[in-house]
């Protein structure tokens, strides 16, 4: 190993010297690789924000096991099931409590601009908190009042005046489902791809808004387990005990996967982002191939001379692959830096949870290395075909 390292340190960096011989060409090549990396990072970032925002509400729930209807599609399109299933679930050993949650997608009319937005509204029993949200839990007495809601301060839209008024202690009134409601408190969750924000209220207020839904038909059942009980085992017991035709029982991880799976598999949004990342990869392959092919053509006589001096094809191919590796690493850095800036801008403009992760950066870096090496492998065909006798 030491001998290999010594040989590498003594080796003349021909790949680097060839790339940097023409500074402008090298800069264009780096820009091309950076652009391809930027495309991949942004597409994967949007996809990650989609999946994270889709379950942002789920992650705040304190329950261990969830019961939903088999017809439920996602958090904005939840079917109902009989509330008595919760009472039956309490018969299972280890189940500490079973609480209902009502959830629906509503059209919210901005009190100031009169613009209409889609928000997710959640109704629950204020005497039995279900969220790990201190802002909500500290204002439960407010939503016990008739037609009082809590509003998501991170909702997308021109809600600055609404937030300012509520922060100043002034209730804001508007209309939902042809019923006048007032906003007396704020909390922070954020938007998702299915809604621009969230609303919280009591189950009584929720049922007043949606009079066609009875209290006996709920959207989500929230089961909390006693300490020491495994949610997976309790789920298996519940599946064996409860009728399967009108409910689906899930652990919290399965409930989150259920929501993410809808956006990934049942909508075109997930595949579109994957396609965008693939297109970025293809663009990078084409750009790097053009750069390396041009470089090989301009130095074909030198490669032929090396062959005439006895250097093997393997040595010459190593020079091209060295160039590919340099382009991959050096081009990735500006692509990463620009994408970090764009993540900040997009996150601030949309309130979506878009952020760079180590896994995503490593994933794109690995893709960049493959992209450049693949281009280098295609470009080396001209080096192998170089004949010293034809060059002079």
Q: Exposed, middle or buried by CB within 10 Å (0-12, 13-18, 19+), for 348?
A: exposed
Q: Has residue 59 been placed in a domain?
A: no
Of 211, 246, 281, which residue sits at a domain end? 246
Q: Has residue 335 been placed in a domain?
A: yes
Residue 83 and residue 209 in one domain: yes
> Across residues 64-90, what is the average pLDDT?
92
Q: Is the pLDDT of residue 246 over 80?
A: yes
Q: Has residue 239 been placed in a domain?
A: yes
Q: Has residue 225 been placed in a domain?
A: yes
Q: Is the pLDDT of residue 6 over 60?
A: no
188-233 pLDDT tens trace: 988 877 788 899 999 999 999 998 888 889 999 999 999 999 999 9
User: How confident is the model at residue 376, as a pLDDT?
Assistant: 77
Q: Which of 132, 136, 140 is nearest to 62 (CA)?
A: 132
* Residue 227 lies in domain: 70-246
Q: What gap in Å lies between CA 59 and CA 190, rounded to an integer?
A: 13
- Say what the pTM is: 0.77
Residue 318 and residue 380 in one domain: yes
Q: Chain-wide mean pLDDT for the chain?
A: 84
User: How confident is the model at residue 371, as a pLDDT?
Assistant: 84
Q: What gap in Å lies between CA 124 and CA 346, rounded to an integer?
A: 33
Residue 144 and residue 107 in one domain: yes
Contacts of 36 (CB under 8 A, 6+ apart): 280, 281, 283, 284, 287, 331, 335, 368, 371
Q: How confident is the model at residue 142 (pLDDT cuts 50, 70, 90)?
A: very high
Q: What gap in Å lies between CA 284 and CA 37, rounded to an integer?
A: 8
Q: What gap in Å lies between CA 370 and CA 287, rounded to an integer?
A: 14
Question: Which comes out higher in pLDDT, residue 101 or 367?
Answer: 101
Residue 162 and residue 22 in one domain: no
Residues in the chain: 392
Residue 47 and residue 76 in one domain: no
Q: Is the pLDDT of residue 98 over 90?
A: yes
Q: Over pLDDT 70: what percentage of the chain?
A: 89
Of the listed ranges 12-21, 100-109, 121-130, the one predicted with least confidence: 12-21
Q: What gap in Å lies between CA 225 and CA 314, rounded to an integer?
A: 63
> Across residues 255-273, what is the average pLDDT?
84
Q: Is the pLDDT of residue 391 over 90?
A: no
User: How confident is the model at residue 266, as a pLDDT?
Assistant: 80
**What total number of domains does the chain contain?**
2
Residue 200 and residue 349 in one domain: no
Residue 183 and residue 287 in one domain: no
> Across residues 153-160, what is the average pLDDT?
82
Q: Is the pLDDT of residue 388 over 70?
A: no
Q: Is the pLDDT of residue 12 over 70?
A: no
Of the listed ranges 34-38, 123-127, 267-271, the one predicted with least confidence: 267-271
> Which residues make beta-bridge pairs with 286?
none
User: How confident is the model at residue 299, as a pLDDT?
Assistant: 67
Residue 273 and residue 344 in one domain: yes
Q: How confident is the model at residue 320 (pLDDT cuts 50, 70, 90)?
A: confident
Q: How confident is the model at residue 8 (pLDDT cuts 50, 70, 90)?
A: very low
User: How confident is the model at residue 5, as a pLDDT?
Assistant: 39
Residue 217 and residue 291 in one domain: no
Token digits of residue 303: 């490669």
Residue 88 and residue 209 in one domain: yes
Q: Which residues of 121-136 are buried (b: 16+ CB within 10 A; e: fewer)?
A: bbbbebeeebbebeeb
User: How confident is the model at residue 385, as a pLDDT?
Assistant: 62
Q: How confident is the model at residue 16 (pLDDT cuts 50, 70, 90)?
A: confident
Sheet holding 220-225, edge to edge: 172-176, 179-187, 148-152, 198-202, 116-124, 95-109, 220-225, 65-68, 248-251
Q: Has residue 5 been placed in a domain?
A: no
Of the listed ranges 53-62, 266-275, 302-311, 363-372, the one predicted with least confidence: 302-311
Question: Which comes out higher in pLDDT, residue 345 or 287?
Answer: 345
Residue 226 and residue 157 in one domain: yes
Q: Has residue 258 been placed in a domain?
A: no
Q: Is the pLDDT of residue 270 over 60?
A: yes
Q: How confident is the model at residue 11 (pLDDT cuts 50, 70, 90)?
A: low
Q: Has residue 349 been placed in a domain?
A: yes
157-185 pLDDT tens trace: 778 888 888 888 888 888 888 888 999 99
Of 182, 216, 246, which residue sits at a domain end? 246
Kindly report the number of other CB atoms within 10 A of residue 368's CB atom: 27
Q: What is the 3-state secondary structure (H, E, C) of the chain?
A: CHHHHHHHHHCCCHHHHHHHHCHHHHHHHHHHHHHHHHHHHHHHHHHHHHHHHHCCCHHHECCCEEEECCCCCECCECCCEECHHHHHHCCCCCEEEEEEEEEEEEEEECCCCCCEEEEEEEEECCCCCCECCHHHHCCHHHHCCCCEEEEECCCCCCCHHHHHHHHCCCCEEEEECCEEEEEEEEECCCCCCCCCCEEEEEHHHHHHHCCCCCCCEECEEEEEECCCCCHHHHHHHHHHHCCCCCCEEEEHHHHHHHHHHHHHHCCCHHHHHHHHHHHHHHHHHHHHHHHHHHHHHHCHHHHHHHHHCCCCHHHHHHHHHHHHHHHHHHHHHHHHHHHHHHHHHHHHHHCCCCCCCHHHHHHHHHHHHHHHHHHHHHHCHHHHHCCHHHHC
Residue 238 and residue 275 in one domain: no
285-296 pLDDT tens trace: 888 778 777 776
Of the listed ranges 160-174, 283-297, 321-335, 357-371, the one predicted with least confidence: 283-297
Q: Has residue 253 been placed in a domain?
A: no
């Amino acid at each position: 190993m030491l001998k290999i390292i010594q040989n590498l340190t003594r080796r003349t960096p021909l790949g680097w010297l060839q790339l940097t011989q023409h500074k402008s060409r090298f800069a264009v090549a780096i820009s091309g690789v950076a652009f391809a990396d930027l495309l991949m990072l942004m597409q994967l970032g949007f996809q990650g924000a989609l999946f994270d925002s889709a379950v942002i509400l789920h992650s705040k729930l304190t329950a261990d096991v969830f019961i939903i209807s088999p017809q439920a599609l996602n958090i904005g399109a939840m079917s109902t099931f009989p509330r008595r299933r919760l009472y039956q679930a309490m018969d299972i050993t280890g189940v500490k409590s079973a609480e209902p949650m009502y959830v629906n997608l509503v059209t919210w009319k901005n009190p100031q601009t009169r613009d209409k937005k889609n928000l997710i509204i959640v109704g629950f029993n204020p005497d039995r908190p279900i969220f790990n949200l201190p802002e909500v839990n500290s204002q439960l007495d407010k939503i016990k009042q008739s037609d009082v809601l809590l509003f998501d301060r991170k909702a997308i839209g021109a809600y600055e005046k609404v937030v300012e008024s509520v922060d100043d202690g002034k209730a804001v009134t508007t209309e939902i489902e042809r019923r006048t409601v007032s906003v007396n408190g704020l909390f922070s969750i954020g938007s998702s791809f299915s809604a621009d924000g969230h609303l919280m209220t009591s189950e009584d207020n929720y049922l007043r808004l949606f009079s066609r839904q009875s209290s006996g038909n709920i959207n989500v059942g929230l089961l909390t387990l006693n300490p020491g009980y495994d949610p997976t085992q309790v789920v298996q017991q519940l599946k064996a005990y409860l009728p399967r035709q009108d409910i689906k029982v899930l652990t919290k991880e399965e409930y989150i996967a259920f929501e993410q799976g809808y956006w990934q598999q049942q909508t075109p949004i997930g595949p579109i982002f994957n396609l965008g990342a693939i297109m970025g990869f293809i663009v990078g392959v084409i750009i790097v191939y053009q750069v390396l092919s041009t470089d090989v053509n301009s130095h074909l006589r030198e490669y032929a001379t090396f062959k005439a001096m006895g250097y093997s094809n393997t040595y010459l191919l190593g020079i091209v692959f060295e160039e590919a590796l340099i382009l991959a690493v050096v081009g990735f850095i500006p692509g990463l830096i620009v994408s970090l800036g764009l993540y900040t801008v997009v996150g601030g403009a949309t309130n979506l949870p878009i952020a760079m992760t180590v896994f995503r950066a490593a994933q794109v870096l690995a893709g960049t290395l493959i992209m450049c090496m693949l281009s280098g492998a295609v470009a080396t065909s001209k080096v192998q075909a170089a004949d010293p006798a034809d060059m002079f």
